[in-house]
Protein backbone atom coordinates (compact mmCIF):
# COMPACT_ATOMS: atom_id res chain seq x y z
CA UNK A 1 0.00 0.00 0.00
CA UNK A 2 2.85 2.36 0.86
CA UNK A 3 4.41 1.82 -2.57
CA UNK A 4 1.16 2.72 -4.31
CA UNK A 5 0.83 5.89 -2.23
CA UNK A 6 4.45 6.82 -3.04
CA UNK A 7 3.92 6.39 -6.79
CA UNK A 8 0.70 8.41 -6.69
CA UNK A 9 2.45 11.25 -4.85
CA UNK A 10 5.42 11.20 -7.25
CA UNK A 11 3.02 11.26 -10.20
CA UNK A 12 1.07 14.15 -8.70
CA UNK A 13 4.32 16.04 -8.11
CA UNK A 14 5.24 15.53 -11.77
CA UNK A 15 1.82 16.65 -12.97
CA UNK A 16 1.98 19.71 -10.71
CA UNK A 17 4.74 21.28 -12.80
CA UNK A 18 2.61 21.33 -15.98
CA UNK A 19 0.73 24.63 -15.28
CA UNK A 20 4.00 26.52 -14.85
CA UNK A 21 6.46 24.60 -17.02
CA UNK A 22 4.66 24.76 -20.37
CA UNK A 23 3.84 28.51 -20.30
CA UNK A 24 7.43 29.27 -19.26
CA UNK A 25 8.81 26.98 -21.97
CA UNK A 26 6.70 28.75 -24.62
CA UNK A 27 7.82 32.11 -23.17
CA UNK A 28 11.42 30.98 -23.50
CA UNK A 29 10.93 29.89 -27.13
CA UNK A 30 9.40 33.18 -28.28
CA UNK A 31 11.63 35.63 -26.37
CA UNK A 32 15.26 36.69 -26.51
CA UNK A 33 17.79 38.52 -24.37
CA UNK A 34 16.90 39.41 -20.79
CA UNK A 35 13.29 38.21 -21.20
CA UNK A 36 14.49 34.76 -22.18
CA UNK A 37 17.00 34.68 -19.33
CA UNK A 38 14.15 35.46 -16.93
CA UNK A 39 12.23 32.48 -18.34
CA UNK A 40 15.31 30.30 -17.83
CA UNK A 41 15.66 31.35 -14.19
CA UNK A 42 11.98 30.68 -13.48
CA UNK A 43 12.18 27.27 -15.15
CA UNK A 44 15.17 26.38 -12.97
CA UNK A 45 13.12 27.29 -9.90
CA UNK A 46 10.36 24.95 -11.10
CA UNK A 47 12.94 22.16 -11.46
CA UNK A 48 14.36 22.77 -7.99
CA UNK A 49 10.90 22.71 -6.39
CA UNK A 50 10.06 19.45 -8.18
CA UNK A 51 13.28 17.83 -6.89
CA UNK A 52 12.71 19.12 -3.37
CA UNK A 53 9.15 17.78 -3.30
CA UNK A 54 10.32 14.36 -4.51
CA UNK A 55 12.69 14.15 -1.56
CA UNK A 56 9.99 15.37 0.84
CA UNK A 57 7.70 12.55 -0.27
CA UNK A 58 10.20 9.81 0.61
CA UNK A 59 11.24 11.57 3.81
CA UNK A 60 7.65 11.98 5.06
CA UNK A 61 6.50 8.50 4.03
CA UNK A 62 9.51 6.51 5.21
CA UNK A 63 11.84 8.84 7.07
CA UNK A 64 14.49 8.47 4.33
CA UNK A 65 17.74 10.23 5.24
CA UNK A 66 20.88 10.79 3.19
CA UNK A 67 24.00 11.32 5.32
CA UNK A 68 26.41 13.61 3.47
CA UNK A 69 30.08 13.20 4.38
CA UNK A 70 32.75 15.70 3.31
CA UNK A 71 33.87 19.12 4.50
CA UNK A 72 33.88 20.54 0.96
CA UNK A 73 30.12 20.02 0.70
CA UNK A 74 29.41 23.27 2.56
CA UNK A 75 31.61 25.26 0.14
CA UNK A 76 29.66 24.37 -3.00
CA UNK A 77 28.16 27.36 -4.79
CA UNK A 78 24.78 27.65 -6.56
CA UNK A 79 26.47 29.74 -9.26
CA UNK A 80 29.49 27.46 -9.73
CA UNK A 81 30.58 25.42 -12.75
CA UNK A 82 30.94 21.75 -11.92
CA UNK A 83 31.59 18.37 -13.49
CA UNK A 84 30.11 15.57 -11.38
CA UNK A 85 31.27 11.94 -11.38
CA UNK A 86 29.72 9.15 -9.33
CA UNK A 87 29.54 5.38 -8.99
CA UNK A 88 26.39 3.88 -10.53
CA UNK A 89 24.49 1.08 -8.82
CA UNK A 90 20.79 1.82 -9.19
CA UNK A 91 18.19 4.02 -10.86
CA UNK A 92 17.99 5.62 -7.41
CA UNK A 93 21.39 7.27 -7.93
CA UNK A 94 20.09 10.26 -9.89
CA UNK A 95 17.28 10.81 -7.39
CA UNK A 96 19.77 10.73 -4.50
CA UNK A 97 22.31 13.01 -6.20
CA UNK A 98 19.64 15.56 -7.09
CA UNK A 99 18.25 15.50 -3.54
CA UNK A 100 21.66 15.95 -1.91
CA UNK A 101 22.91 18.70 -4.21
CA UNK A 102 19.66 20.53 -4.94
CA UNK A 103 20.17 24.30 -4.56
CA UNK A 104 23.78 23.69 -3.42
CA UNK A 105 24.96 23.88 -7.04
CA UNK A 106 23.32 24.79 -10.37
CA UNK A 107 20.55 22.42 -11.48
CA UNK A 108 22.20 19.11 -12.39
CA UNK A 109 21.98 18.13 -16.03
CA UNK A 110 23.10 14.88 -17.63
CA UNK A 111 23.37 13.58 -21.18
CA UNK A 112 20.15 12.04 -22.47
CA UNK A 113 19.47 9.99 -25.58
CA UNK A 114 17.90 12.17 -28.25
CA UNK A 115 14.88 9.87 -28.58
CA UNK A 116 13.87 10.52 -24.94
CA UNK A 117 12.90 14.12 -25.70
CA UNK A 118 9.56 12.70 -26.87
CA UNK A 119 8.70 11.21 -23.45
CA UNK A 120 5.52 12.97 -22.22
CA UNK A 121 6.08 15.73 -19.63
CA UNK A 122 9.59 14.59 -18.60
CA UNK A 123 10.96 14.90 -22.13
CA UNK A 124 9.46 18.36 -22.44
CA UNK A 125 10.85 19.32 -19.02
CA UNK A 126 14.35 18.20 -20.07
CA UNK A 127 14.04 20.28 -23.23
CA UNK A 128 12.80 23.32 -21.30
CA UNK A 129 15.67 23.00 -18.83
CA UNK A 130 18.31 22.69 -21.57
CA UNK A 131 19.39 19.14 -20.77
CA UNK A 132 22.00 18.01 -23.30
CA UNK A 133 20.45 15.58 -25.80
CA UNK A 134 22.89 13.54 -27.87
CA UNK A 135 22.59 11.10 -30.72
CA UNK A 136 24.87 8.11 -30.26
CA UNK A 137 25.63 5.59 -32.99
CA UNK A 138 25.16 1.90 -32.23
CA UNK A 139 28.04 -0.61 -32.44
CA UNK A 140 26.56 -1.96 -35.65
CA UNK A 141 26.41 1.51 -37.20
CA UNK A 142 30.00 2.24 -36.16
CA UNK A 143 31.20 -1.00 -37.74
CA UNK A 144 29.59 -0.05 -41.03
CA UNK A 145 30.72 3.57 -40.86
CA UNK A 146 33.61 4.31 -38.41
CA UNK A 147 33.43 8.01 -39.29
CA UNK A 148 30.25 8.22 -37.20
CA UNK A 149 32.44 8.11 -34.07
CA UNK A 150 33.92 11.48 -35.01
CA UNK A 151 30.45 12.84 -35.70
CA UNK A 152 29.25 11.67 -32.27
CA UNK A 153 32.17 13.45 -30.56
CA UNK A 154 31.48 16.66 -32.45
CA UNK A 155 27.85 16.42 -31.37
CA UNK A 156 28.91 16.18 -27.71
CA UNK A 157 31.26 19.17 -28.12
CA UNK A 158 28.53 21.28 -29.69
CA UNK A 159 26.10 20.40 -26.91
CA UNK A 160 28.66 21.32 -24.23
CA UNK A 161 29.69 24.57 -25.87
CA UNK A 162 26.42 26.29 -24.93
CA UNK A 163 27.28 25.93 -21.22
CA UNK A 164 30.52 27.89 -21.54
CA UNK A 165 30.46 31.09 -19.51
CA UNK A 166 27.34 30.24 -17.47
CA UNK A 167 26.78 28.34 -14.20
CA UNK A 168 26.29 24.62 -14.84
CA UNK A 169 26.51 21.16 -13.29
CA UNK A 170 26.95 18.16 -15.57
CA UNK A 171 26.65 14.63 -14.21
CA UNK A 172 28.55 11.77 -15.81
CA UNK A 173 28.30 8.12 -14.76
CA UNK A 174 31.71 6.92 -15.92
CA UNK A 175 30.90 3.23 -15.51
CA UNK A 176 28.33 3.58 -18.26
CA UNK A 177 26.05 0.93 -16.76
CA UNK A 178 24.42 0.16 -13.45
CA UNK A 179 26.38 -2.32 -11.32
CA UNK A 180 24.05 -5.31 -11.43
CA UNK A 181 25.01 -8.88 -10.36
CA UNK A 182 24.68 -10.02 -13.98
CA UNK A 183 27.02 -7.33 -15.27
CA UNK A 184 29.54 -7.93 -12.48
CA UNK A 185 29.67 -11.63 -13.38
CA UNK A 186 30.01 -10.87 -17.08
CA UNK A 187 32.90 -8.46 -16.56
CA UNK A 188 34.52 -10.35 -13.68
CA UNK A 189 37.84 -11.07 -15.42
CA UNK A 190 38.22 -7.52 -16.74
CA UNK A 191 37.20 -5.68 -13.58
CA UNK A 192 39.86 -4.84 -10.97
CA UNK A 193 37.34 -3.47 -8.46
CA UNK A 194 35.34 -5.23 -5.78
CA UNK A 195 32.43 -2.77 -5.49
CA UNK A 196 32.60 -0.89 -8.80
CA UNK A 197 32.72 -1.40 -12.54
CA UNK A 198 35.66 -0.22 -14.61
CA UNK A 199 35.16 3.49 -15.52
CA UNK A 200 35.46 4.96 -19.00
CA UNK A 201 37.34 8.25 -19.25
CA UNK A 202 36.82 9.20 -22.91
CA UNK A 203 33.47 10.95 -22.49
CA UNK A 204 34.40 13.03 -19.46
CA UNK A 205 37.72 13.91 -21.08
CA UNK A 206 35.98 15.31 -24.17
CA UNK A 207 33.46 17.28 -22.09
CA UNK A 208 36.16 18.58 -19.70
CA UNK A 209 38.38 19.72 -22.56
CA UNK A 210 35.48 21.46 -24.28
CA UNK A 211 34.64 23.32 -21.05
CA UNK A 212 38.19 23.65 -19.67
CA UNK A 213 38.06 27.45 -19.54
CA UNK A 214 34.78 27.43 -17.62
CA UNK A 215 35.21 24.64 -15.06
CA UNK A 216 35.58 25.50 -11.37
CA UNK A 217 35.82 22.01 -9.94
CA UNK A 218 35.05 18.32 -10.22
CA UNK A 219 32.62 16.87 -7.67
CA UNK A 220 33.40 13.23 -6.96
CA UNK A 221 30.46 11.49 -5.27
CA UNK A 222 30.50 8.01 -3.77
CA UNK A 223 27.12 6.57 -2.83
CA UNK A 224 27.25 3.75 -0.28
CA UNK A 225 24.01 1.79 0.07
CA UNK A 226 23.29 -0.38 3.12
CA UNK A 227 22.51 -3.31 0.81
CA UNK A 228 24.75 -4.87 -1.84
CA UNK A 229 22.38 -4.69 -4.82
CA UNK A 230 19.96 -1.81 -4.19
CA UNK A 231 16.99 -1.09 -6.43
CA UNK A 232 14.82 1.96 -6.96
CA UNK A 233 11.83 -0.14 -5.97
CA UNK A 234 13.41 -0.88 -2.56
CA UNK A 235 13.94 2.84 -1.99
CA UNK A 236 10.35 3.61 -2.94
CA UNK A 237 9.11 0.85 -0.61
CA UNK A 238 11.02 2.33 2.32
CA UNK A 239 13.37 -0.65 2.58
CA UNK A 240 16.36 1.67 2.21
CA UNK A 241 15.99 4.48 4.72
CA UNK A 242 19.57 5.52 5.38
CA UNK A 243 22.62 5.72 3.18
CA UNK A 244 25.82 7.70 2.90
CA UNK A 245 26.98 10.06 0.17
CA UNK A 246 30.66 10.98 0.30
CA UNK A 247 31.46 14.29 -1.39
CA UNK A 248 34.94 15.22 -2.58
CA UNK A 249 35.51 18.47 -4.45
CA UNK A 250 38.65 18.71 -6.60
CA UNK A 251 39.59 22.12 -8.08
CA UNK A 252 39.75 21.98 -11.87
CA UNK A 253 43.38 23.14 -11.72
CA UNK A 254 44.30 19.85 -10.00
CA UNK A 255 42.65 17.64 -12.63
CA UNK A 256 44.76 16.72 -15.70
CA UNK A 257 42.30 17.98 -18.29
CA UNK A 258 43.58 17.40 -21.82
CA UNK A 259 44.33 20.70 -23.57
CA UNK A 260 44.27 19.39 -27.12
CA UNK A 261 40.75 18.49 -28.26
CA UNK A 262 42.18 16.06 -30.79
CA UNK A 263 43.71 13.92 -28.04
CA UNK A 264 40.87 14.27 -25.50
CA UNK A 265 38.95 11.05 -26.37
CA UNK A 266 42.08 8.95 -25.69
CA UNK A 267 43.76 11.06 -23.02
CA UNK A 268 46.08 8.83 -20.97
CA UNK A 269 46.50 11.34 -18.17
CA UNK A 270 42.74 11.67 -17.70
CA UNK A 271 42.43 7.87 -17.73
CA UNK A 272 45.06 7.59 -14.99
CA UNK A 273 43.26 10.21 -12.91
CA UNK A 274 39.89 8.47 -13.28
CA UNK A 275 41.42 5.08 -12.41
CA UNK A 276 42.99 6.60 -9.29
CA UNK A 277 39.65 8.06 -8.21
CA UNK A 278 37.94 4.70 -8.70
CA UNK A 279 40.60 2.90 -6.68
CA UNK A 280 39.98 5.32 -3.82
CA UNK A 281 36.22 4.79 -4.13
CA UNK A 282 36.61 1.02 -3.97
CA UNK A 283 38.67 1.23 -0.78
CA UNK A 284 36.16 3.67 0.75
CA UNK A 285 33.17 1.45 -0.01
CA UNK A 286 35.00 -1.65 1.29
CA UNK A 287 35.73 0.18 4.54
CA UNK A 288 32.10 1.25 4.92
CA UNK A 289 30.86 -2.29 4.24
CA UNK A 290 32.93 -3.70 7.10
CA UNK A 291 30.94 -4.57 10.27
CA UNK A 292 31.08 -1.72 12.76
At residue 188, does pLDDT exceed 60? no
Cβ neighbors of 43 (< 8 A, separation 6 or more) are 21, 24, 25, 28, 128, 129
Question: Which H/E stretch holds residue 246?
Answer: strand 242-251
What pLDDT, in 10s, does the model give residues 114-146? Answer: 888 888 888 999 989 988 887 765 566 556 665
Residue scoring higher pLDDT (223 or 236): 223
Confidence bin at 109 (pLDDT 50/70/90): very high
- How large a percentage of the chain has pLDDT more than 90? 49
Dihedral angle computed from the Cα positions of residues 236, 237, 242 and 246, in that order, rounded to the nearest 10 degrees: -30
Using CA atoms, how far apart are residues 26 and 144, in angstroms rounded to an integer?
40
Which residue, among 110, 105, 248, has the nearest Cα to 176 in the 3D structure?
A: 110
Cβ neighbors of 167 (< 8 A, separation 6 or more) are 78, 79, 80, 81, 106
At residue 147, does pLDDT exceed 60? no
Q: Which CATH architecture has domain 65-289?
A: 3-Layer(aba) Sandwich (3.40)
The answer to whether the beta carbons of residues 168 and 109 sit under 8 Å apart is yes
Using CA atoms, how far apart are residues 84 and 173, in angstroms rounded to an integer?
8
The answer to whether the beta carbons of residues 280 and 103 sit under 8 Å apart is no
pLDDT score for 137: 57
Which residue, among 87, 77, 173, 167, has the nearest Cα to 130 in the 3D structure?
A: 167
pLDDT score for 231: 78
At residue 257, does pLDDT exceed 90? yes
What pLDDT, in 10s, does the model give residues 226-252? Answer: 877 777 778 777 788 889 999 999 999
Using CA atoms, how far apart are residues 252 and 239, in angstroms rounded to an integer?
38
The answer to whether the beta carbons of residues 195 and 71 sit under 8 Å apart is no
Residue 199's alpha-carbon distances to 22, 96, 108, 265, in angstroms, are: 38, 20, 21, 14
DSSP 110-127: E-EEGGGGGSTTHHHHHH
**How much is the mean pLDDT over the chain?**
86
pLDDT score for 151: 61
pTM for this prediction: 0.89
Say how many Å lie between the first and final Cα of the chain, rounded. 34
pLDDT score for 276: 96
Amino acid sequence: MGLIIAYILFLLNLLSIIPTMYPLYIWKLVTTGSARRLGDRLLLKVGEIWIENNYRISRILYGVQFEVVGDAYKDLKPDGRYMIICNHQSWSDIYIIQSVLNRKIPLIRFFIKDSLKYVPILGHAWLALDFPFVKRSTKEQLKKNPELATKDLENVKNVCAKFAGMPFSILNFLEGHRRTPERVQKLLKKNPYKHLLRPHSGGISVVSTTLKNSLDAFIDLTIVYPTENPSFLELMQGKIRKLKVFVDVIPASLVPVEENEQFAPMSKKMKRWVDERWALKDVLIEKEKQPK
